[in-house]
Amino acid sequence: MSKKQQFTGKRQAIREKRRRDRQRQRLITILVVVGVALVIAALLIAPSIRNSLVPVGDIIEVTPETRPMADGTAMGDPDAPVLIEVYEDFQCPACRIYSNEVEPLVTENHVANGEVYYVFRQYPFLDDRAPNKESDQAANASMCAAEQGRFWDYHDILFANWNGENQGSFSDKRLLAFAETLGLDTEAFTACFEENRYQDQIQADLAAGNAAGVQGTPSVLVNGEIVKPGYVPTYEDIKRMIEVSLPNSSQ
């Protein structure tokens, strides 16, 4: 073999080595890019996978009850002489007691006969220092149920399934399951819930409560005046203020 042929062969070998090196480098680059993409995808998807694996748990069903002239988060005659506004947090244990024991008496004895227009106001605050925001999300979910005319049924199922503050009772997955249990349009409910469609209205309720002097829940206002500030009012407390507020009251 001549020197020229040897030189040409070496050049070809060098070129071939460089070509293989470039291919190897491109392959390594592609693998690195794909690996980084997979890691990012895993980080983004993992939380939803974990959430999907978390069991919903048992759900206590409720029997829907008829409320007089129910409309959204209110019930009764809007032209009634007495306005009752109740500020509540669905995680509040005292609110649960109030809703189970006091509210039905007010509804039966004063809303049904046209004396009282009764309005539920959102006051979610018990998750302010918690990461999961169960109060906020329960309020959000209840408003999405109201959009389908089922606020009071959802109100009842929330309180029936409460089991401690910020303990997972109102995880997003359970809130969606409550809607399914009640037979709501789950596709519409989910879209509303994920959009947090009523955030502005919930914040407006909070602001109105703060302006009215609300400092805890449940806070019951009769014609704008808080019943027993700092205490959970009894039915008798509320009844007395209703009677004083009625036209032609002798008190």
The superfamily CATH assigns to domain 74-245 is: Glutaredoxin (3.40.30.10)
Q: How do residues 200-231 score in pLDDT, each as one tens digit?
A: 999 999 999 999 999 999 999 999 999 998 88
* pLDDT for residue 28: 76
H or E element at residue 187: helix 186-195
DSSP 108: I
In the predicted structure, residue 8 carries a pLDDT above the cut 60: yes
Please list the helix, strand and coil fractions of the chain in percent, rounded to the nearest 5, in that order. 55, 10, 35
Domain boundary assignment for the chain: 1-53, 74-245
With CA atoms as reference, report the closest residue to 241 among 103, 78, 84.
84
- Tell me the pTM: 0.78
